[in-house]
Structure formats: structure tokens, C-alpha cells
Chains A and B, each alone.
Chain A
């Protein structure tokens, strides 16, 4: 057998990978390589293509173009199983474990040695698990006989990693591994990662928390809009400020500042939240929005923005706090109350919360309106059709007919309907949660214009978005949230991507040990 000599120790090489989804180009000619025994961080904004790239690596998606080579050999992964057999494993959080089985059973389940004759639990697996734990640096922290359901998320993740190693994986993909871990667990995870690295395992590490990257990664690659912007030779070649700049990009893309924004008149405060608290998720939130104003809520995933919107809207209960609309204090216990008080909330998850798939276009559009009108028991089909038709025209929604089921429409058109149904209720305050996620560029522009129009008509608008350039382009003011608190309030002039990122990034979470 010919021995392959690897240049630079590169074990995984991705060349010119391109992946298209309907309406979006998720990846365009992305190159990426991974060395033996390195932690390679992959960073970028939401929608930059990180997830798509790793999903291609672990066989979930197939690339439209480009090649993957592993140890110098070209590989095609038709499914997840093939990628695992080749030694590439993605570590999920909690999802893939059986809660009612022990740690050892979970780790060795896929392998024949768990049960003797396929029936009797093989006692050896406990010993094997202990050996495995020692090998990868988990040590004696975990008892192999413990049931997985009794473990914290962080420890479940350790089990996932151990499981991957036991399947002879040599490349691990960690996607936001620290997003729900406590500082102690993060430290433990980092120890495991370091110990794996010494043993020659390679890891792709995706994270929004940039300071982690400087403490754990060897190299870092930045993706933006499906393109790779660059890879550092060493992680120390860059610093936080530069990295943020690279991620966001200097230009605010092809965003049009609203030419119409002058037409908006920002006048008195009509919406005010005072001291809103909800468990650990929201701590003493105070803010206000003026008539005709568009306020952005920026923050990382898990900062508490959606929780804030939901508790304002009455979808989740709150522990304390007051809400004022037009100077009057309002009690909102459920979304119905919110609707009656003139609030509207466009949900983040359109498919499962924003629309009712089995219902028609017209039925979806008029749903909140029907609930809002207290009088009347009968449906007025004509009135309904007129209302739906005018909404379709106003928002230029592409449908075949009013009776068409909404599930057959494109995501962009569904989103427009989800917005249209709230416009029909003439809201005083409207909260948009990720209004353009997963939507094509053209429709995005229409939605921005629409949001502006709504504000112009005198509503107070709150926009939650993880897309920073988007917020910067459409908002008059930006509130930054981090770990359930509002950490900054920035005017349009003050709001710069770097500044927002700084306020959005959790501080002092871990005592990082820089190497």
C-alpha cells in the first residue's frame, strides 16, 4: 500500500463547495481545510453558511459542486451514516441520547458489545466507559451507570463526545457547544477538547462567543453570505476587533436606507415596559418606543429577546413588570388580551407558530381580526374576501386564490401573510421577531419597506433580528440584550456593528486560560 504523505498535516480538505437552496445561495465556492490535532473555529453571522457547511461535512446535505477529501482520498457522503463511518461526527446537544438508559449503554448502544447474546446487559461496558473517559480527559467525573436523564446538558454533551470517540471518530464537529452550559461545564468541555487535541483528534468549532475562540482554537475561518472571507494562519494573528469587523463586513451591504424615513414622524411615547422580569431569562427590562419609531433589539441567540417579546405579548407568564400603551397601564395575561390592547407579535418561527398550514390564505389573514372583533358570531365571507384581497394587493403577495392552502406558498409569501394578518388588526404596537429569516433578498427589501410604512402610519415598531446590518439599516434606535438584560441603548449614529457585538457578548463568563 502506498503511504500518503499529507502536506501540512491536512486530513480534511474541502474544495470549492457550492450549495444552493431555493431562493438562496447558501455556500459559494468555499474552501476549508482541517489539520490533524487542531481546533479550527468557524465563525460568521446567522445565515453565513456555517451550519450548511458542517451539515455537508457530516452527510446531511449533499453539495451541488465541489469536493471533500479525507486523508487525500475523495469522499462523497450520501448520508450521516457514511460520514460517521469515515470518522466525521457531529456532536449534538442532548438530542441524540436515550434519557432512560445509562451513560455506558448510550455510548455503546450502536455497537454489538452492549448485550451478550443480544439480551443480557454486558457488564464490561462500564469498565470500557471508564477507560474511555480517562482516555479523553473526562476522568472520573461521570459514573457510567448513571442514567442520562439525570445529567446536566453539559454532561450529556460529554457523553455525546465520548460516544463519538468510541465510534472511531477522528474529526468532531461542535456546533455552538457552549450555548447552554454553565461556566464550570464550559471549563470542563475545554479540558476535554484540549486533551482530545493532544491525542490527535481534529475539531471544527462553531461559536458566536468570540472570546472562547481565542482561548480554545488554533485557527479561525470566517464565513459571510456563503463565502469564505479568510482563514488565519494562527488564531493569534487576529484579535477580537478585527474578527468582528471581518464577520460583519465593513459595508452595510446592499441595504437601502429608507428614502421614506423622513416621512416618519416620531412623536410621543406610546409603548413602555417597566421592570419586566421573568425567572432567569429576563431581568428588570425597561424600555419605551415612540409613535412612528422603529426600535431594534440586538443580541446573540439566547440573549432573551424572543422571551421578552413573548412575555410582553402574554404568550409566556411574567414574574413582574408593567406595560403601558398610550400612557395607560394594561394587563396582559394571554395573547388574546394583547390583541385587544392593540399589540401584535410576528413570531420568530413562522412555520410552527406564525401560520396555520392547513388553512387557506384568506382564513389565515383574517384570523386575529376575527378574534379581535368581540361582536358578531357569523362569518361574513364577502367582507373576509375583501379584506384578504386588499391585504394581498397591498403586500403584493403571490397567491393563486384566496382558497389556496397557505402551506403551498413560498416562505416569503407565508411571511407576508403572517404580517398581513396583524396589519388587519390595526395594531398600535407591533413586534417583529426575525422578520426576514430564511427569506430571499427581494422579499426582504419589501418587508423592510413594509415595516417602515407601518411605523409611518403611527405604530410603535420593535424589530428583533440577529442580522446586524439589517437592524442598522432600518432602526432609529437599537437596544442590545445580553443574558436577559438590556446592556446598551444606541442611537442610529452611535450604533456600529463592533459596538453592538461588544455589548452583546457575555462578559466574565469563564476565567479563560490563555495559552
Chain B
């Protein structure tokens, strides 16, 4: 008898903690549910969907946009926006490519060069946003233009290809040529970013300043520094995205990454992050990335024309926002 009572108590306790879990991660749970439903639909409509080959394919396709979306999440959590990520991806990989191919630089320093370019651009954006106080939209819009133009200047408008083997390895598949290394790196970066946002002061302060910048400042937080940091992280992840993309394709095209900023913003927003800042999570972004990836993949498998795919993504963005509005109201 006592045994049973204890058991029911335990169940009740479990149910309660389950309830609080659902309440805290309401957005993430509903996103996972939608991802699950979408996958179910694709599994039923295409026999190719639920194969390991296809799933890894999705991972490969998602890795670039996923990596760039990490930095975008940081910036959007501060209440800003970074329109320059696509161009940063282009310029950082282009300079690295020029360095490796044109000057015969080794792969490792090529990677460092790309990362430094990304950080540099992030510092530039962050300086104008946090210190000068310009609107993030305008600063990064200008940077988008400047970085793209610099990309064309560096390569004279032609693609650069033929990278060292060590560099290309980043874009290869590991474990019996099955698992895309870029995807693994991307997932690891998500773990790291999640750790930063939830377990460190940096994350806490970024949420605080995104939630209410003036209140955070008056609580004695160096808001300028943390805002700048978010843009640096965004530049950094955009550069990593550039490295992964160019390593896989073994070429850097001067047009690489055009329009990527919008895909990244879409993924972040679908992931339940508020464009006003202070609300959201990196887990949401990850699911948002996969939601778009799985949707695109399924539409491809079903042979839907690419012309129509934008409809699906647009509808998901709207749907996600409507869902968020409805749930936050209740």
C-alpha cells in the first residue's frame, strides 16, 4: 500500500516537473512537434525521405545556414539584426581563398585568416551599433554592401578554386563517407552556443540587454561591450559558414552567400526568437533551421518546382509568428 502511494507521489511529482518543463520550453516543444509532423508527412509521401542517406543530406544542407544562424541568434537576442552575414561569408572565404591559392598559404592559417576577417567585420558592425548608436539595420546594410563589393575587388569578379587538401577535408564526409563533417561541426557549435547563452554571464547579459537595454545598463552591466560581442560572434560564425561552404565546394564564388542573411533571419524567427530581443533560444534556432531544411528537402523529393518552394517557407514564417502571437496572448 505504502509502496503504491509512494509510486503515485512520484508520478505526480514527475507530472508536475513535466508540466513546468513544457511551460518553460513551450516554443521549443511546439517547434519539435511541427518538425515531427512535417517529417511524418514526408515519410508517408516519399519512400526516400526516411533514409540515412537523405537525413545526412539534410544535415549537410543545413550546416551552412545553421552555422550562420548561431551568430544571428546572438544579435537578434540583443534586439539587433545583422544583414551583413551573407556578405561576410563571401568576403571571409574569398580572402582566405586568395591567401591559400594566390599566395600558397597553408590551410590552417587560411582558416585563421577567414576567422579574423569575420571578427573584424563584427567589430566594425558592433562599434557603430553600440558605441556610435546607429541603427543595426542600417549599419549592417551598409556593411553588406561594403563586404560584397570588397569580395568582387579581391577576386576581380572571378571564382577562386583548388584549395589545400587539409582545407577541403572540412567539407568532406567522415565515417565511411557518410557523415558530413560540416554538419558535425555545426551541431558542436550549437552545443557550445547553448552553453554560452544559458550557463555563462555573457549569455545572461545578452538576454538582459535584449530584454531591456536601459534597465540592464542601470543594473551596472556594460551593455556596450556585450552588444559589440554579439556582432563579433555573428561575424565569426558567418566566417565559419564561409569556410565550411568553400571547403565543400572547393571553390569560392564572388556571389557566395547572397541572400543568406534572409534565410538565417527566417530560421531564427521561426525558432521563436523575438526580433525585439531578449526572448528566444539557440535550441529554437536549431529546430527552425531544420524545419526549413526538412521542408525544402521534402518538396524536392516530391518534385515540387523550386519556384513554389518559397511559398512553403514564407507560409512557415507567417505560421510560426501567428502561433507565437496566439500562445503568448493566452
Q: In A340-388, which residues have CB < 8 Å from any B CB?
A: 340, 345, 347, 352-359, 363, 367-368, 370-372, 376-379, 381
B21 CB to closest chain A CB (Å) equals 11
Query: Are B278's CB and A345's CB within 8 A?
Result: no
Query: Are B216's CB and A352's CB within 8 A?
Result: no
Query: Are A352's CB and B212's CB within 8 A?
Result: yes
A-B pairs under 8 A by CB, number: 87
A363 vs B201: C-alpha distance when bound (angstroms)? 11
Cross-interface CB contact of B216 among A356, A377, A381, cutoff 8 Å: A356
Query: Are B217's CB and A334's CB within 8 A?
Result: yes
Cross-interface CB contact of A345 among B208, B218, B221, cutoff 8 Å: B218
Q: In B165-211, which residues have CB < 8 Å from any A CB?
A: 199-205, 207-208, 211
A352 vs B216: C-alpha distance when bound (angstroms)? 10
Residues of B within 8 A of A367 (CB): 204, 208, 216, 219, 221
Q: In A439-494, which residues have CB < 8 Å from any B CB?
A: none
Query: Are B218's CB and A315's CB within 8 A?
Result: yes
A338 CB–B CB distance under 8 Å: yes
A506 CB–B CB distance under 8 Å: no
Residues of B within 8 A of A381 (CB): 199
Query: Are A353's CB and B218's CB within 8 A?
Result: yes
B9 CB–A CB distance under 8 Å: no
B215 CB–A CB distance under 8 Å: yes
Residues of A within 8 A of B216 (CB): 356, 367
B26 CB–A CB distance under 8 Å: no
Cross-interface CB contact of A359 among B20, B208, B214, B222, cutoff 8 Å: B208
A405 CB to closest chain B CB (Å) equals 10
Query: Are B217's CB and A356's CB within 8 A?
Result: no
Closest to A338 in B: B220
A357 vs B274: C-alpha distance when bound (angstroms)? 14
A87 CB–B CB distance under 8 Å: no
Query: Are B215's CB and A378's CB within 8 A?
Result: no
Closest to A425 in B: B220
Query: Are A354's CB and B201's CB within 8 A?
Result: no
A353 CB to closest chain B CB (Å) equals 5
Query: Are A358's CB and B279's CB within 8 A?
Result: yes
B24 CB–A CB distance under 8 Å: yes
Closest to A359 in B: B211
Cross-interface CB contact of A353 among B207, B215, B221, cutoff 8 Å: B215
A155 vs B208: C-alpha distance when bound (angstroms)? 40
Interface string of B209-240 (1 = CB under 8 A from A): 00110111111111000000000000000000
Residues of A within 8 A of B200 (CB): 377-379
Query: Are B278's CB and A363's CB within 8 A?
Result: no
B237 CB to closest chain A CB (Å) equals 20
- Residue with the highest number of chain A CB atoms closer than 10 Å, among B217, B219, B222: B219
Residues of B within 8 A of A377 (CB): 200-202
A339 CB–B CB distance under 8 Å: yes
A339 vs B221: C-alpha distance when bound (angstroms)? 9
Query: Are A357's CB and B220's CB within 8 A?
Result: no
Query: Are A403's CB and B24's CB within 8 A?
Result: yes
Query: Are B220's CB and A371's CB within 8 A?
Result: yes
> What is the size, in residues, of chain A's interface with B at 8 Å between Cβ atoms?
33
A28 CB–B CB distance under 8 Å: no
Residues of A within 8 A of B217 (CB): 315, 334-335
A422 CB to closest chain B CB (Å) equals 9
A130 vs B220: C-alpha distance when bound (angstroms)? 53
A382 CB to closest chain B CB (Å) equals 12
Query: Are B212's CB and A336's CB within 8 A?
Result: no
Query: Are A358's CB and B222's CB within 8 A?
Result: no
Query: Are A403's CB and B20's CB within 8 A?
Result: yes
A205 CB to closest chain B CB (Å) equals 34
Closest to B279 in A: A358
Query: Are B204's CB and A363's CB within 8 A?
Result: yes
A352 vs B201: C-alpha distance when bound (angstroms)? 22
A379 vs B198: C-alpha distance when bound (angstroms)? 8
Q: In B9-35, which residues have CB < 8 Å from any A CB?
A: 20, 24
A335 vs B218: C-alpha distance when bound (angstroms)? 6
Query: Are B205's CB and A371's CB within 8 A?
Result: yes
Residues of A within 8 A of B207 (CB): 358-359, 363
Which residues of B are interface residues toward A (Cβ below 8 A)?
Answer: 20, 24, 199-205, 207-208, 211-212, 214-222, 278-279
Could you give 27 example pairs across A and B, Cβ below 8 Å? Answer: A315-B217, A335-B217, A335-B218, A335-B220, A340-B220, A347-B215, A352-B214, A353-B215, A354-B215, A354-B218, A356-B208, A356-B211, A357-B211, A358-B211, A358-B212, A358-B279, A367-B208, A370-B201, A371-B222, A372-B220, A376-B201, A378-B200, A379-B199, A379-B200, A379-B203, A381-B199, A421-B219
